[in-house]
Amino acid sequence: MIYLVLPAYNEEENLGELLGAAQRVFSADNRSYQVVLVDDGSRDGTLPLAEEWTERIPLRIVRHPVNQGLGPTLRDGLRAAAESAGNGDIVVAMDADNTHPPELVPPMARLIDEGYDLVIASRYQPGARVAGVSAFRRLLSWGANGLFRATFPIPGVRDYTCGFRAYRGSLLRNAFERYGDSLVSEAGFQSTPDLLIKLAGLAPRATEVPIDLRYDRKRGESKMRVAGTVGRTVGLIVRRRLNWR
């Protein structure tokens, strides 16, 4: 069983195309699945669109009445999936803006079946491709990941900031038992590397697959504010380094 977690905020323009692609992928893969969509107080048509899709695919909606940010949205989606998942089930988290290809889910799931606990769709593996991102943003991403790798080395991991990941169900349940809500305690985009750093304390067997990251498919304005994200990321590295192993 695969649980596909989608944190969503104002993704009306992107969500339908993503859900359609996911439906085709899972139908071809012939594996049971459920989509867990967390609507983070969207002010556009994201929620009504998601409700329409509940008639087409196995889709569960978790709703935040007001916007809380990526961290709480990701946390609530992962918790909802982990509470339903069995030890051998798989929880996949990905962005709802149609930049992450659902076609990667089956090969990531097979690696979990083969014994890995964590599989990351990585921009830093041979064969990876990134489209629609400025050179400046790529440089910032490369620098942030270099800092994380140097400060928090995790075997098998090079991409600390991509949120497209597959988790073994037992890994997430153990993590929530250990950390509770603080498993995802950062509010913004830095919640993604922070979650990975905490999971490292459980010594998961991790690996990566190359991603074809398609920001050129995304419609609408980016929700990342670069200056604030950089500052909060540096602050996260300093805080977590004090307690690293």
Structural domains of the chain in order of their starting residue, each with its CATH number: 2-241 (3.90.550.10)
Question: Taking Cα atoms as reference points, which of 133, 105, 83, 89 lies closest to residue 26?
Answer: 105
Q: Using one digit for the tens of pLDDT, what is the confidence trace for 149-171?
A: 889 999 999 999 999 999 999 99
Write out pLDDT tens, residues 61-106.
999 999 999 999 999 999 999 999 998 999 999 999 999 999 999 9
- Amino acid present at 198: K
Statement: residue 222 has pLDDT above 70: no
E strand or H helix at 141: helix 135-151
Residue 1 DSSP label: -
pLDDT for the residue 227: 47
Tokens 């349940």 correspond to: 173
Model pLDDT for residues 191-216, shown as the tens digit of each residue: 999 999 999 999 999 999 999 998 88
